[in-house]
Amino acid sequence: MIPISRPLTGPEEMKAVEKVFSSAWLGLGSTVLEFERAVQEYLGVKHAVAVNTGTSALHIALAGFGIGPGDEVIVPSITFAACVQSILALGATPVFAESHEDTLLLDVDDVKKRLTKKTKAVMPVHYCGNPCDLDALWALAEDRGLRVIEDAAHAFGSDYHGRKIGARGDAACFSFDPIKNITTGEGGAVVLGDDEAAERIRRMRILGIDKDTWLRYKNTRSYFYEVVSPGFRYHMPNFCAAVGLEQLKKLPGFIARRRAICRRYDEAFSGLKDVKPLKVDYATTAPHIYIVRVPEGRRDEFMELLKARGVGTGLHYIANHEQPYFKKYAASPLPRAESLWRRIVTIPLHCALSDADVETVIAAVQEFDRKDGAGRPAPGRIGKRVMP
Ligand SMILES: Cc1ncc(COP(=O)(O)O)c(C=O)c1O
């Protein structure tokens, strides 16, 4: 089976991890500082705070900008559950918004309709690595005194108007989980320009303990400590940072390969009658996943045909306002999100795919498109079947 994603690591990462283990300073330390500096330099941003997951990055980025109980945060309904949980973890309320049909990016006009006096932040998601309309969001944020906390989990290495995603704005949050554009095993980072917010977030990452980070960066620590703010144990350990440093060196090659695969898919799928790729500009996007839309009611048929041809598929993501735990926050209708998530399928995209794998995927997708869809189940049924 060709998997939809997998990490690409080699002896370089193993050697780097071995070095950290032989130093016996495995946790937060000098390798994390080195990784943070490398991320800062790559993105062109003043601060990078490395953490243990993308989810914790979202959580402490919101917290660092003072989001808390009584506040509303607007978030696309179609995104990973991590966005919603990070908002709820602070006692704030998620307000679900629509995404665009042909990009899955947050619809800023719809965001405007959902603003209230309680709105404090917007969390756009750079879906598949494709940047959202940040200019429109930043203008809105300035006008209404909001924060824009970007979920850039998919977008490490993508460009927006000639600068890296994360280089501008309040804060961007990356994930370095095993299948992201680069991995640290598990990990994430908050990147931002504001000195005070960066200091708050850095402290929050390690239990709100003052100055501890700076000592640990030198692979040492103090036995006297002061807890001066709320905090969590969210830091990235040295051995994960060591993996990240090696992955960063490989990133240009990873991006080039991912783009080449996406362009080949786009070319092969242009003009298909039933299978529609998303619209993504691969000149600027460092693509994380590749999603196609199929007719409503035929998603299982598509997934099953690909499975029979040895091709794995996935679903990114189920609309959160339909999730059992989140549906109480679905205050107003989201018809586009409800239709859209039932029609999206993720097909394989990663750097370990061979050209022959890519052609196998294409042949299976084209075979599906040649079918007429007769005998398909009623719309809606397929979607309900995959709900947890
Ligand atoms: C859009 C999005 N946001 C947030 C996250 C959370 O990242 P992590 O898995 O590193 O916690 C992910 C990870 O899959 C994601 O895809």
CATH architecture of the domain formed by 11-245 = 3-Layer(aba) Sandwich (3.40)
Query: So where are the chain's domains?
Result: 11-245, 252-385
Does pLDDT of 374 surpass 90? no
Amino acid 352: pLDDT? 96
244 within ligand 1 shell (Cβ under 6 A):
no
If pLDDT is split at 50, 70 and 90, which confidence band does 381 have? very low
Does pLDDT of 120 surpass 70? yes
- Interatomic CA distance for residues 145 and 107, integer angstroms: 19
> For 209, how many CA atoms within 13 A lie in the half-sphere containing its CB?
16
- Mean pLDDT estimate for the chain: 94
Amino acid 139: pLDDT? 98
Amino acid 290: pLDDT? 98
pLDDT 10s digits, 300-340: 999 999 999 999 999 999 999 999 999 999 988 999 999 99
Average pLDDT over residues 7-24: 97
151 within ligand 1 shell (Cβ under 6 A):
yes
Amino acid 213: pLDDT? 76
Amino acid 84: pLDDT? 98
Residue closest to 154 by CA, chosen among 138, 122, 132: 132
Does the domain at 252-385 match CATH 3.40.50.1000? Answer given as no
Which atom of ligand 1 lies at the shortest distance from residue 79's CA?
1
Pocket test for ligand 1, best of 86, 177, 243 (most atoms within 8 A of CB): 177
Pocket test for ligand 1, best of 56, 88, 150, 175 (most atoms within 8 A of CB): 175
Could you tell me the CA-to-CA distances from 183 to 9, 155, 180, 254, 259 in Å, in that order?
Answer: 9, 13, 6, 11, 18
Ligand 1 atom 1: residue of nearest CA: 80
Identify whether the C-beta of residue 177 lies closer than 8 Å to the C-beta of residue 53. yes
- Catalytically active residues are 180
pLDDT 10s digits, 40-64: 999 999 999 999 999 999 999 999 9
Ligand 1 atom 8: residue of nearest CA: 54
Could you tell me the CA-to-CA distances from 58 to 147, 172, 184, 313 in Å, in that order?
Answer: 13, 8, 17, 27
pLDDT 10s digits, 139-184: 999 999 999 999 999 999 999 999 999 999 999 999 999 999 999 9
Amino acid 386: pLDDT? 39
Ligand 1 atom 10: residue of nearest CA: 54
Amino acid 211: pLDDT? 77
Does pLDDT of 379 surpass 70? no
Cα 110 to averaged position of ligand 1 atoms, centre (Å): 23
Count of CB atoms within 10 A of residue 145's CB?
8
173 or 222: which carries more pLDDT confidence?
A: 173
Average pLDDT over residues 13-24: 97
Which tokens in the block code for residue 311? 């091709």
Amino acid 378: pLDDT? 43
Question: Taken in order 72, 78, 83, 88, is the CA torsion positive or negative?
Answer: positive
Amino acid 225: pLDDT? 84
- Interatomic CA distance for residues 64 and 362, integer angstroms: 45
216 or 75: which carries more pLDDT confidence?
A: 75
Identify whether the C-beta of residue 206 lies closer than 8 Å to the C-beta of residue 28. yes
Pocket test for ligand 1, best of 53, 75, 80 (most atoms within 8 A of CB): 80
- Interatomic CA distance for residues 144 and 93, integer angstroms: 18
Count of CB atoms within 10 A of residue 119's CB?
19
140 within ligand 1 shell (Cβ under 6 A):
no
3-state SS of the chain is: CECCCCCCCCHHHHHHHHHHHHHCCCCCCHHHHHHHHHHHHHHCCCEEEEECCHHHHHHHHHHHCCCCCCCEEEEECCCCHHHHHHHHCCCCEEEEECECCCCCCECHHHHHHCCCCCEEEECCECHHHCCCCHHHHHHHHHHHCCEEEEECCCCCCCEECCEECCCCCCEEEEECCCCCCCCCCCCEEEEECCHHHHHHHHHHHECCECCHHHHHCCCCCCCCCCECCCCCECECCHHHHHHHHHHHHHHHHHHHHHHHHHHHHHHHHCCCCCCEECCCCCCCCCCCCEEEECCCCCHHHHHHHHHHCCECCECCCCCHHHCCCCHHHCCCCCHHHHHHCCCEEEECCCCCCCHHHHHHHHHHHHHHHHCCCCCCCCCCHHHHHCCC
pLDDT 10s digits, 225-283: 889 999 999 999 999 999 999 999 999 999 999 999 999 999 999 999 999 999 999 99
**Residues sharing a CB contact under 8 Å with residue 232, sequence separation 6 or more, in sequence order:** 56, 59, 60, 204, 205, 207
Amino acid 376: pLDDT? 54
Strands 163-164, 276-277: pairing is: unpaired
Does pLDDT of 94 surpass 50? yes
As beta bridge partners, residue 119 has 72
Average pLDDT over residues 349-361: 98
105 within ligand 1 shell (Cβ under 6 A):
no
Provide the whole-model pTM: 0.95
If pLDDT is split at 50, 70 and 90, which confidence band does 207 have? very high
Helix 238-269, helix 30-43: angle, nearest 10:
30
